Amino acid sequence: MSNVTALPKIAWIGLGIMGSPMSENLLKAGYSVTGYTLEQDKLDRLAAAGGTAAGSIAEAVKDADVIITMVPASPHVEAISYGPEGILENAKSGALIIDMSSITPQTSVDLAKNAAEKGLRVLDAPVSGGEAGAIEAVLSIMVGGEKADFDAALPILEALGKTIVLCGPHGSGQTVKAANQLIVAVNIQACAEAVVFLEKSGVDLQAALDVLNGGLAGSTVLTRKKDNFLNRDFKPGFRIDLHHKDMGIVTDAARNVGAALPVGAVVAQLVASLRAQGDGGLDHSALLRAVERLSGSQV
């Protein structure tokens, strides 16, 4: 038996900005991938990369050993998981579901419980690194679930990311992802404020960001988003709409455990404000637009 045929069969549900390049990285690693998503052009892209396009969730998952889901939010995870056409009713017993969406920790806990009743295993495995990290297969993957399932999934996850950590029981991956989104949003906001301050002061922005990124103010956020700031290029790698959803998750989860997030709460409102002004479809680096509006410098 060749190595390719020995690898588990994978079903992939959700082929968006993140899901498409991630599924393609599994194909490059030699896995068989059958995918389903709502957009025909995304199915065509998967087929062109060597995958198989399915006509439904049920068709995609019926023969899969591992089912990976990457959809926008908790309601989407519930919609694809439950009901007669959903994953739980159509997956074969013993299959492993890896949900890589960013959702509420409670949704992940509930999914694991309901899946166990069907003889299915679940990991919550949200990611950080954005579109570039997905394309380059250098994502940070934070996982919640049983260690045996994590160990079984590790070779697959290693084809998708670079930093892969089991953070605790079901829901723990989502909790760590929520903290990640808090840090990223606050960091982007700080960078955006610095950009406006620097420009209004007449400083060469590129030179300033280069030197800042070489010191303690440097960050992955600044490295990844520097060109967005310089070129005002807000083509979505990670949309404000999704970061708005994530800030709701972290503020709600923090309230439930009694953790105060004073700066996070302010940034959550700034993200919500930007979305309310019609910028929800832009990259989260577009927080710069909100600071410019507040500073009277946006045309």
26 and 153 share a domain?
yes
Domain that holds residue 141: 3-169
150 and 195 share a domain?
no
Mean predicted confidence (pLDDT) in 282-292? 97
pLDDT tens, position by position, 90-101: 999 999 999 999
210 and 73 share a domain?
no
* Residue numbers annotated as active site: 177
- 109, 135, 169 - which closes a domain: 169
Mean predicted confidence (pLDDT) in 55-59? 98
Mean predicted confidence (pLDDT) in 183-196? 98
Residue 287 has pLDDT above 80, yes or no: yes
- From 149, 151, 160, select the one nearest 115 (Cα to Cα): 149
Check residue 245 and give its pLDDT. Answer: 96
Check residue 297 and give its pLDDT. Answer: 87
- 152, 169, 186 - which closes a domain: 169
Indicate which CATH number applies to the domain containing 82. 3.40.50.720
Residue 219 within any structural domain of the chain: yes
Provide φ and ψ at 109, rounded to 5°.
-60, -45
Residue 228 within any structural domain of the chain: yes
162 and 25 share a domain?
yes
Residue 264 within any structural domain of the chain: yes
Residue 299 within any structural domain of the chain: no
Residue 34 within any structural domain of the chain: yes
Mean predicted confidence (pLDDT) in 31-41? 97
202 and 151 share a domain?
no
169 CA to centre of own chain: 19
Indicate which CATH number applies to the domain containing 265. 1.10.1040.10
Residue 73 within any structural domain of the chain: yes
Check residue 2 and give its pLDDT. Answer: 45
- 150, 169, 188 - which closes a domain: 169
Sorting pLDDT into bands at 50, 70 and 90, what band is 174? Answer: very high
Check residue 209 and give its pLDDT. Answer: 98
pLDDT tens, position by position, 102-128: 999 999 999 999 999 999 999 999 999
Neighbours of 129 (CB within 10 A): 24
162 and 103 share a domain?
yes
Chain-wide mean pLDDT for the chain? Answer: 96
240 and 288 share a domain?
yes
Residue 124 within any structural domain of the chain: yes
Residue 4 has pLDDT above 80, yes or no: no
Sorting pLDDT into bands at 50, 70 and 90, what band is 159? Answer: very high
155 and 41 share a domain?
yes
Mean predicted confidence (pLDDT) in 78-85? 98
Residue 267 within any structural domain of the chain: yes
Distance CA 263, CA 287 (A): 15
79 and 129 share a domain?
yes
37 and 162 share a domain?
yes
Partnered with residue 33 across adjacent β-strands are 10
pLDDT tens, position by position, 216-263: 999 999 999 999 999 999 999 899 999 999 999 999 999 999 999 999
Sorting pLDDT into bands at 50, 70 and 90, what band is 6? Answer: confident
Sorting pLDDT into bands at 50, 70 and 90, what band is 1? Answer: very low
Q: Report how many domains make up the chain.
A: 2
Residue 3 has pLDDT above 80, yes or no: no
192 and 153 share a domain?
no
90 and 144 share a domain?
yes
Residue 77 has pLDDT above 80, yes or no: yes
